[in-house]
Structure 1
Amino acid sequence: MKRMLPGLLLLASVAAAQGPQGPPATPKRPVTDTYFGQAVVDNYRWLEDTNSPEVKAWFQAQGDYTKQALDQIPGRDSLISAFVRYDKLRPVRYGEVKQRGTRYFYRKTLPTEAVGKLYLREGKTGPERLLFDPAAYDKTKTYAMAAFTPSNDGQQVVIGLQEGGAELSALRTLAVATKAFRPETIASVFGGEVTWLPDNSGFLYTPQNSNDPKDPKGNLDTKARLHRLGTDPAADPELFSRAKYPQLGIRPDQYPYVYFSDDETQIYGGLSSVDNRINAWVAAPADLRKPTIPWKRLAAPADSVYNYLKLGGQLYLYSIKGAPRGRILVTDAANPSPATARVLLPEGKLHITGISSTKDFLFVTLNDGINDQIRQYDPRSKQWAPVPLPLNGSAAVMPLDAPRSNDVLVDVTSWKQPLTLYDYSPATRKLAVSRFDVPAKYPGVADLVVEEVEAPGHDGAQVPLTLIYRKGLKKDGQAVCYMTGYGAYGISATPYFSTRYLALLNKGVVVAVTHPRGGSEKGQTWYRAGYQTTKPNTWKDFISCGEYLVKNSYTSPQHLIGEGTSAGGVLIGRAITERPDLFAAAISNVSCSNAMRFENSPNGPVNAPEFGTVKDSVQCRGLYEMDAFQHVKAGTKYPAVLCVGGMNDPRVIVWQPGKFAAALQAASTSGKPVLMQVNYDNGHFTEDKKVAFRNFANMYAFALWQAGHPEFQPATIAVR
């Protein structure tokens, strides 16, 4: 008799156990950990072994059950149709325009295409030439172009290729003249951006240690390397790492990188982490040829420099030291000293969010909490001037070829204004709609109303809240409301136009974007007030926003949807475990739901500076507080919850939302469904439009079903 594998046994037993009325059964196998004298029980530790056939079968069964449930929702396909229809209204999308001499390289995506292709023009108005199509690269597999970096002379392009929704890229070098790839391939590079050598003979990059997103050592002790074209990548010399420079105090979780200043007169070695403070050194380009580089300190974390760039002989620093809203300092690039740097732009009422430069100008982006302003500085005249923007919202400066040109693209968008690309001349301070902008008119936009309000927080803080809805909204508490939040890493929820939101708005849904502590809407103090041990403010601010919406009759608990993605999983997970009565439904998307075990996931150690570590008694208590999984209590009437995880996700491993789903399924007594959607063709996210459209339609349809939207009610409900 043929022996059945253990995984198949589980799948068969799960299928038998789930029946028509419940999700797949999940055995409890308690494991007890003791942290600083406190015992913590984990009933689902076994789900962390994603290589186990039993665990694979569990995720497959959960995914199949979820698909069966979601397929019953009548409005789901109408959402996909709306996404596709709105996508077609913009006949072409241009992105990542990069200039090299007279050549313009860019990504172009048509509505009929799932992913973008790489194109080239000679001059902005020259004929278009297709350089690379990911869909044609290997028709037996699915590829996307994560990034592309043209050489300085525009003769070659390094392309980062992602396969099957994975986020780690393989680097290939394309010759522009022949459109042929060089033979070598460099695997396991996150994203795919590189820095070319000035003579275009090679490039600088930092690979991961493994192509497996579940490898716990994949992004620890990484090494910045130099690749010479035509050589074996296995022999690429190591430039900057903990192993090579032990005296620099590099931690295993810090990601080393090396790149050139825009004018290629300096090289910088830096350490990337979730700590936004720059940790970097400087050297001369000639030092790349030496066995060891004589690095000289540029800025340490204690200097609280958030960004820097070289323009002429000066180094410009964006610093928050003694200025939580930020200021701009300037120091000698040859002998940088943040401590003695001169103040160029003092701290003001607006907080600085970024700096960039072209050949002759410095640009500073500032924010009033929601809307951006941009100022430019000319070091030659020592004059500041505002960049004229056509509307309030978000704006970004994108230099096209910083060291050699003053050409700039400026993109501008708002909650109800689609993104528009402008050509900008800093010399004349004139904006003109760019050749790379393709306008689109979307249905219902003219009827949208945007309110910027503040909700009283639990401790008296005023929490910014953006409300978007159609004209004529009756504030009778009957509207379905989709409330989203993030609140981590100092990332602010700045205005942007979303066709996905538009699909909800055109169905009468109120969209509420929260700005909780943990973001930087009110500067660095706002960020630090939702960080590590102060993290409870993040989800309490989210709860306060929900209470504001109910109190002011925008919606009611029977119609309120909460959503959090990635680090926003802390926000949504703890919001529904603390106030389950406030929500009809929740979406926990690729979510950090088990914070105490995050360090045991591949991406966990590098995120410890943001959330904390269980190795520290105070931070450990903070992690327990933000751990949604540990706060699930049996016998509680939880809202309907859809957890989403990606099997190729290197950022939040799939067992994080998986364990949360298992705990909620066992604990909830509300009779409302708890589902676990498993994406096998997706990582943390994907460029593939078909996959993304399906994923968001599933999430929205589930939530609208449970929040009582009439277009999403199945004739019969076969899941609890």
Structure 2
Amino acid sequence: MPALAQLTPPKTRITTVEDRYFDKTVQDNYRWLENVSAPDVKEWVMAQGEYTKRLLDRIPGRDSLISTLTGFDRMQPERYSAIKRRAGRYFFRKTMPGENIGKLYYKQGEHGAEILLFDPSTYQNGKGYYMLDHLPSHDGKMVAIAIANGGGEIATLRVIDVGGNKFLSDKLSPVREEFTWAPDSRGIIYTVLNSADPFDVNFQMNTQACYHALGTNPQNDRVILSASKNPELGISKTEVPTVYVSNDLQHLIGNLMTVDYRMHVVIAPITDLAKAKINWKPLISREDSIAGLTDVGGQLFLHSIKGAPNGRVLVTSLASPDVRVAKVAVAEGNKIYEIGASKDYLLITKDDVVRSYLQTYHAATRQLHNIPLPVSGVGGIRSYDPQANDLYVSLVSWLYPPVTYNYSPPIGKLTPSTFHRQSKYPGLDQLTVEEIEIPGHDGTLIPLSIIYRKGLKKDGSTVCFMTGYGAYGHSATPHFDPKYLALLNQGVIVAVTHPRGGSEKGLSWYKAGFKTTKPNTWKDFISSGEYLIRAGYTSARHLIGEGTSAGGILIGRAITERPDLFAAAINNVGVTNVMRFELTPNSDNIAEFGTFKDSVESKALYEMDALYHVKKGTPYPAVISVGGMNDPRVIIWQPGKFTAALQNSTSSGKPVLLQVNYDNGHFTEDKTVTFRNFANMYAFALWQAGHPGFKIR
């Protein structure tokens, strides 16, 4: 084995391209890495991956972390998820202790025998397939499943005949995972993609929602909603049309999806599904600021954030809906997370960062009822079947593994669910949580969750893993993560930040870390790190920063703005060249970050672009970036270019790595891949942050 000093990263050539963005000239030294199909780029990626593997293989605690995560997985009893009931049959994903991926089962009635319907590991010679989603038909006789492989998100849609326990001949591909059944259970409505290639920048541009009649040739499927089919609706090329059927089975709802969570929705009568062209009518524009909708008992309920940053619920007639005259059903209070529906009740989930408040609203009597929760935590309320009123409630907290209850609104009582199995993990009784607020760079109070072992000495000597996201209005609510527990049981502090750009404090919190205000996101992260050091939890020699996906902006700009604050950084499938992001397959993120074609937004994009803020001769912390070769959301050259720039620029002598996952996308259900992936990231960062269990000798 070569000495550590002999392990050096592959050389990366610099070929400068200059771009002019209005009055700003930007130099890009690594544009050539964007051609991922070019032989020299493939060779560079492989060389980076090999260098990273050789170094990671030398870290003594890495394999122990993999064993710990695997052991935690085996401690769990069987886990049930995505539970759906139709015509008395329950369909669900179940993962047994130690199993790599979940399988699809069904049973007749709540206490019936569980019958295996689909095992992804045996599909097409076990080529790494897993289920993105499943949905039973209304009559419960069939179930459609979206299948993908290699951690990807471009799906193939198949249908299983439940009684015969076999696939029908129907095979739809490439499609998105969102789909629905026609009311008569004889056809499926789905969204077709333009390509099965995750590197194709047009794979979800100008997409189309289609109707497929079971047993027919997919090439003859009828387009029911698209920009070309419906020019009168003004559908943009980045809006993805997804169509579903209302709960009363009388209406088609067309949701024109982007990353903007303000919805753009059209509606049509279900009878139009048989027509050559559906007579879609506009229902909701983005200016209406509706974040969610559902129907109960002939009424359409709208989760509105217009003039109500924490959200409120409006109601209008489903037969003749009009947002302009909708009445307030539930006034603004705690922040609404989501709404759902059962046969007679609207289901409401609210939260205040660290706990949920679950409510039911009886559509006929307008009675609002709070669901009593046995523990403080976050969770949600779902209907097994939207045509019935029996529900299930899930709860979880930082130190409390998920628990599931049945709930009946008329009775108002939680009872144990047959789908719940209690999990037990070592070390939980030794942990404590602090929920505090710390001052940000501008005096704004920033929530911060700190988890650590009891008896902590605040002398700055403890390694701290600090993570953040801050985008899309996503709130970092409490959740139980065995990966965090693996760190906590090693004596590591876990700090979860809540920067602006999320929705922890409502819509205003989101908009305070959005486009031109995006710097607040990484500055809040920096402020959180400064507080942890100032209060003695850790020190700059022991602080690890982590950001995933859009959190790549957060971690990338945090270390380029304050490289002295961190011992190590993890950039996990992160967006680090955001000025070029709209040219990737995930180009619809213009709604979240902005476009370089706008003079104001281009300046904001430059400010949040980590790659273009890497400076030669700067002592950067140790950095590991991660990229998935099947990732259509954050294409491999995003973390790749950032890695190249850091390797060619840092003066600290600390390693900069690119971990390349050939069997992964943006994420994967494959636990073997997941455990290895996170153990690599954590072990590298713990080594560089001075944890004695990970020191290379």
In structure 1, which of residues 159, 175, 186 is the aligned counterpart of residue 145 of structure 2? 159
Structure 2 distance, partners of 1:673, 1:232, is 54
SS of 1:621's partner is: helix
Query: In 2, are the aligned partners of 1:518 and 1:526 still within 8 Å (CA)?
Result: yes
Structure 1 distance, partners of 2:578, 2:205, is 19
Per the TM alignment, residue 629 of structure 1 is displaced from its structure 2 partner at its CA by 0.3
* Residue type of the alignment partner of 2:668: T
Structure 1 distance, partners of 2:320, 2:114, is 45
2:627 is the alignment partner of 1:645: yes
Partner of 2:118: 132
The 5-angstrom pairing of residues 255-404 of structure 1 reads: 255-348=240-333, 350-402=334-386, 404=387
In structure 2, which of residues 214, 223, 235 is the aligned counterpart of residue 229 of structure 1? 214
Structure 1 distance, partners of 2:192, 2:434, is 45
Structure 2 distance, partners of 1:322, 1:277, is 13
Structure 1 unmatched runs, 5+? 1-15, 716-720
* Residue type of the alignment partner of 1:624: Y
RMSD: 1.2
Partner of 1:75: 61
2:90 is the alignment partner of 1:104: yes
Query: In 1, are the aligned partners of 2:95 and 2:103 still within 8 Å (CA)?
Result: yes
Query: In 2, are the aligned partners of 1:637 and 1:668 still within 8 Å (CA)?
Result: yes
* Residue type of the alignment partner of 1:159: I
Partner of 1:246: 231
SS of 1:660's partner is: helix
Partner of 1:5: none
Query: In 2, are the aligned partners of 1:203 and 1:227 still within 8 Å (CA)?
Result: yes
* Residue type of the alignment partner of 1:540: K
Query: In 2, are the aligned partners of 1:420 and 1:433 still within 8 Å (CA)?
Result: no
Partner of 1:10: none
Structure 2 distance, partners of 1:385, 1:148, is 31
Partner of 1:178: 164
Structure 2 distance, partners of 1:334, 1:98, is 27
Per-residue CA deviations over 1:409-448 (Å, capped at 9, x if unaligned) read 1110000000001111111111112111111111011111
Per the TM alignment, residue 379 of structure 1 is displaced from its structure 2 partner at its CA by 2.1
Per the TM alignment, residue 169 of structure 1 is displaced from its structure 2 partner at its CA by 1.1
Query: In 2, are the aligned partners of 1:377 and 1:384 still within 8 Å (CA)?
Result: yes
Per the TM alignment, residue 165 of structure 1 is displaced from its structure 2 partner at its CA by 2.1
Partner of 1:481: 464
SS of 1:135's partner is: helix
Per the TM alignment, residue 21 of structure 1 is displaced from its structure 2 partner at its CA by 4.0
2:452 is the alignment partner of 1:469: yes
Structure 2 distance, partners of 1:138, 1:203, is 23
Structure 1 distance, partners of 2:330, 2:184, is 36
Partner of 2:32: 46
Query: In 1, are the aligned partners of 2:7 and 2:51 still within 8 Å (CA)?
Result: no
Partner of 1:687: 669
Per the TM alignment, residue 179 of structure 1 is displaced from its structure 2 partner at its CA by 1.6
Partner of 1:144: 130
Query: In 2, are the aligned partners of 1:397 and 1:411 still within 8 Å (CA)?
Result: yes
Partner of 1:121: 107
Query: In 1, are the aligned partners of 2:179 and 2:243 still within 8 Å (CA)?
Result: no
2:690 is the alignment partner of 1:713: no
Partner of 1:595: 578
Query: In 2, are the aligned partners of 1:262 and 1:310 still within 8 Å (CA)?
Result: yes
Structure 1 distance, partners of 2:528, 2:560, is 16
Structure 1 distance, partners of 2:648, 2:11, is 9
Structure 2 unmatched runs, 5+? none
SS of 1:554's partner is: coil
Structure 2 distance, partners of 1:19, 1:474, is 35
Structure 2 distance, partners of 1:159, 1:322, is 39
Partner of 1:7: none
SS of 2:672's partner is: helix
Query: In 2, are the aligned partners of 1:588 and 1:641 still within 8 Å (CA)?
Result: yes
Per the TM alignment, residue 291 of structure 1 is displaced from its structure 2 partner at its CA by 2.1
* Residue type of the alignment partner of 1:371: R
Query: In 2, are the aligned partners of 1:156 and 1:174 still within 8 Å (CA)?
Result: yes
Structure 2 distance, partners of 1:365, 1:212, is 37
Query: In 2, are the aligned partners of 1:35 and 1:614 still within 8 Å (CA)?
Result: yes
Structure 1 distance, partners of 2:507, 2:571, is 27
* Residue type of the alignment partner of 2:248: D
Partner of 1:59: 45
Structure 2 distance, partners of 1:304, 1:559, is 43
* Residue type of the alignment partner of 1:418: P
Partner of 1:219: 204
Per the TM alignment, residue 140 of structure 1 is displaced from its structure 2 partner at its CA by 5.1
Structure 1 distance, partners of 2:291, 2:113, is 40
Structure 1 distance, partners of 2:266, 2:129, is 36
Structure 1 distance, partners of 2:657, 2:547, is 16
TM value normalised by structure 2: 0.98
* Residue type of the alignment partner of 1:494: T
Q: How many residues align?
A: 695
Structure 2 distance, partners of 1:228, 1:67, is 49
Per the TM alignment, residue 139 of structure 1 is displaced from its structure 2 partner at its CA by 2.3
Query: In 2, are the aligned partners of 1:634 and 1:668 still within 8 Å (CA)?
Result: yes
The answer to which of 306-315 and 492-501 deviates more is 306-315
The 5-angstrom pairing of residues 365-514 of structure 1 reads: 365-402=349-386, 404-514=387-497
The answer to which of 330-339 and 514-523 deviates more is 330-339
Aligned pair in 2 of structure 1 residues 588, 303: CA closer, same or farther (>3 Å)? Answer: same
Query: In 2, are the aligned partners of 1:107 and 1:119 still within 8 Å (CA)?
Result: yes
Query: In 1, are the aligned partners of 2:19 and 2:26 still within 8 Å (CA)?
Result: yes
Per the TM alignment, residue 607 of structure 1 is displaced from its structure 2 partner at its CA by 0.5
* Residue type of the alignment partner of 1:162: A
The answer to which of 50-59 and 306-315 deviates more is 306-315
Structure 2 distance, partners of 1:501, 1:38, is 42
Structure 2 distance, partners of 1:141, 1:269, is 34
Query: In 1, are the aligned partners of 2:179 and 2:242 still within 8 Å (CA)?
Result: no
Query: In 2, are the aligned partners of 1:467 and 1:510 still within 8 Å (CA)?
Result: yes
Per the TM alignment, residue 501 of structure 1 is displaced from its structure 2 partner at its CA by 0.3
The answer to which of 245-254 and 360-369 deviates more is 360-369
Structure 2 distance, partners of 1:588, 1:270, is 32
Query: In 1, are the aligned partners of 2:70 and 2:98 still within 8 Å (CA)?
Result: no
Per the TM alignment, residue 636 of structure 1 is displaced from its structure 2 partner at its CA by 0.3
Query: In 2, are the aligned partners of 1:137 and 1:143 still within 8 Å (CA)?
Result: yes
Partner of 2:10: 24
Per-residue CA deviations over 1:423-480 (Å, capped at 9, x if unaligned) read 1111111111211111111101111100001111001110100000010111110000
Partner of 1:169: 155
Partner of 1:552: 535
Per-residue CA deviations over 1:394-413 (Å, capped at 9, x if unaligned) read 111121111x2112111100
Per the TM alignment, residue 112 of structure 1 is displaced from its structure 2 partner at its CA by 2.9
Per-residue CA deviations over 1:197-218 (Å, capped at 9, x if unaligned) read 1111011000211000000110
The answer to which of 277-286 and 23-32 deviates more is 277-286
Structure 1 distance, partners of 2:464, 2:595, is 35
* Residue type of the alignment partner of 1:375: Q
* Residue type of the alignment partner of 1:409: Y
Per-residue CA deviations over 1:677-698 (Å, capped at 9, x if unaligned) read 0000000000001000000000
Query: In 2, are the aligned partners of 1:208 and 1:218 still within 8 Å (CA)?
Result: yes
Structure 1 distance, partners of 2:400, 2:263, is 34
Query: In 1, are the aligned partners of 2:347 and 2:382 still within 8 Å (CA)?
Result: no
Structure 2 distance, partners of 1:173, 1:530, is 42
Structure 1 distance, partners of 2:398, 2:614, is 35
Partner of 1:9: none
Structure 2 distance, partners of 1:196, 1:67, is 46
Structure 2 distance, partners of 1:483, 1:83, is 20
* Residue type of the alignment partner of 2:131: M
Runs of 4+ in structure 1 over 6 Å off: none
TM value normalised by structure 1: 0.95
